[in-house]
Structure 1
Amino acid sequence: MTASTPQAVDRNLLISRADADFSAMRMHEAASGYRELLTVNPRDVYALHRMCLICVHTDEIAKANDYVTRALQIDAARADLYEHAGLIAAMMGEYTRSEILYHRALQLSGSTATLHRNLGDCLRLLGRVVEAKAQYKAALSIEPNLHHAARAIARISVELGDIDDAARYWALAWSLDSSSLQDGLDLIVALGKAKQTALVSETVAHIREREADNADALQELCLALYKIDHFADMLSVARQGLALAPQRVTLHHYAAHALSVRGKVADALAHSREAVRLAPDDPMLQCQLACLELSQGDFRSGWMRRNVMYSTPLARATLVFPDFPRWNGEPLNGRRFLLVGEQGRGDEIQFLRFAEWLRRQGVVSVDALIPAAESW
């Protein structure tokens, strides 16, 4: 048996103590031990790597980069060093350098789930989402339960308009970890767009049961259902939320919308009026109530309330207000009119019929301000 040299024994002892401190998260003490090793041998790759990890933990990213760079200069065949260098480069916002380092790690070690996942993250930050999606799929092929990758693919698929992939991978992410309410809501929207009605109902039921005492969550669930036109479920969820929080304005707003879409205008009016009572200064709620009143033939109140919209910042930012006097009901004979489109295309076409009505009232001429053809 060959006896260890004193220097070797000292190194082993220092490593043992420093590693124990590192494992116990005593980073200051661990760093002291590894620095002592580097004083003896500045080319000690193990100590350099450990110092890199300590600096990441203490949020000294520039120093971490220096240590891992020194380690790679000594041992350029270590895939784990390239991977950690890639992570640090990404933390520094140097995504192109990070990509190069990850590819080098893949060349040395072959495919690993973490490398493909990290490279996917890097490519996504570079805006190359199609390539990122491929890397996340590679990570999942190695580690099928990798929630991060499934979730990332789902989000990218939504961004790319890949409806079926979005639904598939949100469902996978949800099956791996259903703790996030937002993930469940995103899943519902994706499933709705993919016309997977049964799975929508299943997910909605799960969230309603889990969040039965959470009015905030039920309100967010209403919004998700609104996005996919599931108005029957939206109404039921809104009522569930209102049973918990009868003064919740937004839930009254959602209930009114769901009822009106389904033709139950009288019931919708009750919720809409309550919403306006609770938040009288909200122009969107005033507009909703105005539309319901107009649909019931209450033109005086409806139009007066509807006109509130023209004074809002949103209207000023999105509508056209020509520098002409606005008609406020004065006699029409001998006047000229400009009709300004402000609704959806169907409404604009319908309102053009008032040009003939105006002409019959003695208006000299009627012009219409309409969108350019390419925006139709």
Structure 2
Amino acid sequence: VLSTVKEALRLLPTPTAAHHLKQAEAALIQSQAQRAAEQYQLAHETNPKNPLILRLLGNTLGGLGQAEAAQEKLQLALELQPTDPENHHELALHFAGLGQAEQAIVSYQRAIELNPACADYHFNLGNAHYALGQAPAARSSFSAATTLDPQLAAAHFNLGQVAQDEGDHLAAAQSYKRAVDLDFHYVDALVNLGLTLKELGQPELTRECFELILQKQTGHPMAGVNLAKFHLEQNHPPAAEAACRSVLEVHPTHAEALLNLGVALQAQNRTLDAIAAYEEIVAHNPDYPDRQFNIAFSELMAGRWQSGWQHYEARWGTDNPVFSPRHPHVQAWNGEPLSGKRLLFFAEQGYGDTLQFCRFAPLLSSAGATVIIECQPGLKSLLESIPNVEQVVEQGEAIPAVDFKLPMMSAPLVFGITPENILNGSDGRYLTAPAAEGICSEGRLKVGLVWSGRERSVLNNRSLPSAMLPELFQQ
């Protein structure tokens, strides 16, 4: 803006208009936009045919939120000098600022027709295409910008974003690296470079990127949180805790840092500290989506079953695909009388969860329901041993007509289960394995060892290291 002011000063013929422009320049330096607009208006009244003054006035009015008045001034500047590409460009920027990308594209293209060698015009045209989700056109414009000005770091960064959106992490990393090479302090490019390196299976380079950002900007939220996630994925909770605390020293209410701090503390069995971190989220970000889901684990570990199971219902509001809606056309059971009703009691997560929570099926039968269980493939014959269950079907099989549904892991909340009243069957067991067939008896006890759980992206520490198995067998 100030360079345009100087250009306007150079062209102005009257001392009065020059005085107003200098007053406007001083006001802008002091962040007094309203006073600057008033001075531009006075300069315009002195020289009504000067398009540079009109552009300055229009831009300042736009910054003050006076969109209609701003557009009027910019249009007038364009009418006074329709062959000046900058008039089209400024109008395009105005449309883009209002979220009117389609109109912005028309003006950007006209500016490029008048001056095809301006990298900024191509760059901003690419931004408008990107805003509309037009990836090929955006890529073409950003590429044109980098060809015209190879030193334009922002254009390389945006090329990286387009590639990253399309899943081309290698091309994205190359573009982000080029942006960083051109501007070593380009923190957003470093963050995205770290994320793409992670997708490319380069954990050490990923860590180095985030650590470098934190050296440049202590407590940078995205760098600190992503470094914490990296350490959690590498099963290093203390390092993840340190990364989160580095963010919280600068941004004490940052929700994602508090959330990952809670995860790191829980992974170190510091349950009450984890709960405190999650509760801190509530104080500052009460609607943060994953807070209740994560605090549920810590509360259950701490023996706070009532609030833990209540908070665990928040799993259905997370973006985890495991918790996508199941059987959406069946009404959820919310405590209605079950006498004479048919209820689908369905598995929702892993095999272990099903084996633990299927124990509550008899409570539904006792409440008067005809119970149908849906389970994972391979568990059907085992779950058929549960008493008073009419039918067991495996996922993928046809579900008979039912009146209600209940996820297995919601049963403890519904029935007020505590450590004191949990069901273990009449004789200490609620499942009976069917008789094995085709196994010859050798007079020795046959034992199956479950040593590995499902792999997880974070804290994948639920499996016994296979290297320990030979030592175990020698005992």
Question: What's the TM-score once normalised by structure 1's chain length?
Answer: 0.67
Give the aligned partner of residue 187 of structure 1. 193
User: Is the Cα contact below 8 Å between 1:52 and 1:63 reproduced in 2?
Assistant: no
Give the aligned partner of residue 59 of structure 2. 56
After superposition, where does 1:208-247 map in structure 2 within 5 Å? 208-210=214-216, 214=219, 220-225=225-230, 230-232=233-235, 235-239=238-242, 241=244
Q: 146-155 vs 80-89, which deviates more?
A: 146-155
Return the offset for 1:342.
0.8
User: Is the Cα contact below 8 Å between 1:119 and 1:135 reproduced in 2?
Assistant: yes
Question: Which consecutive unaligned segments of at least 5 residues does structure 2 have?
Answer: 1-10, 28-35, 253-257, 280-290, 318-322, 335-341, 355-373, 399-475
After superposition, where does 1:277-356 map in structure 2 within 5 Å? 282-287=292-297, 308=309, 312-315=313-316, 318=324, 320=326, 340-343=346-349, 351-356=376-381
User: Is the Cα contact below 8 Å between 1:113 and 1:138 reproduced in 2?
Assistant: yes
Return the offset for 1:114.
1.0
User: Is the Cα contact below 8 Å between 2:225 and 2:247 reproduced in 1?
Assistant: no
Give the aligned partner of residue 162 of structure 1. 168
Give the aligned partner of residue 26 of structure 2. 24
Return the offset for 1:94.
3.3
Question: CA–CA distance in 1 between the matches of 2:179 and 2:18?
Answer: 40
Q: 1:308-356: per-residue Cα shift (whole Å, max 9, x none)?
A: 2685243488555866989xxxxxxxxx995513126998898544421
Give 1:128's match in structure 2, choosing from 116, 124, 134: 134
After superposition, where does 1:191-206 map in structure 2 within 5 Å? 191-206=197-212
Q: 117-126 vs 149-158, which deviates more?
A: 149-158
Distance 1:22 1:319, change over 3 A: closer
Question: What's the TM-score once normalised by structure 2's chain length?
Answer: 0.55
After superposition, where does 1:7-156 map in structure 2 within 5 Å? 11-14=13-16, 16-25=18-27, 26-38=36-48, 44=49, 47-59=50-62, 60-156=66-162
Q: 1:224-244: per-residue Cα shift (whole Å, max 9, x none)?
A: 427xx7415665242465699
Q: 1:179-198: per-residue Cα shift (whole Å, max 9, x none)?
A: 64x65443321111123344
1:368 aligns with 2:378: no
Give the aligned partner of residue 261 of structure 2. 251
User: Is the Cα contact below 8 Å between 1:116 and 1:139 reproduced in 2?
Assistant: yes
Question: CA–CA distance in 1 between the matches of 2:225 and 2:131?
Answer: 28
Distance 1:76 1:31, change over 3 A: same
Distance 1:153 1:76, change over 3 A: same
Return the offset for 1:52.
2.8
Q: 1:265-300: per-residue Cα shift (whole Å, max 9, x none)?
A: xxx4x245642476589542443686x99xxxxxxx
1:359 counterpart letter in structure 2: E
User: Is the Cα contact below 8 Å between 1:222 and 1:254 reproduced in 2?
Assistant: no
User: Is the Cα contact below 8 Å between 1:188 and 1:200 reproduced in 2?
Assistant: yes
Q: 306-315 vs 187-196, which deviates more?
A: 306-315
Q: 26-35 vs 14-23, which deviates more?
A: 14-23
Question: CA–CA distance in 1 between the matches of 2:96 and 2:203?
Answer: 40
**Which structure's relative contact order is higher, taking Cα pairs within 8 Å and 6+ residues apart?**
2
SS at match of 2:47: helix
User: Is the Cα contact below 8 Å between 2:228 and 2:239 reproduced in 1?
Assistant: no
Question: CA–CA distance in 1 between the matches of 2:246 and 2:153?
Answer: 35
Return the offset for 1:140.
2.2
Question: CA–CA distance in 2 between the matches of 1:199 and 1:245?
Answer: 24
Question: Which consecutive unaligned segments of at least 5 residues does structure 1 have?
Answer: 1-8, 39-43, 258-267, 294-300, 327-335
Q: Among the aligned pairs, what percent are the same residue?
A: 15
Give the aligned partner of residue 441 of structure 2. none
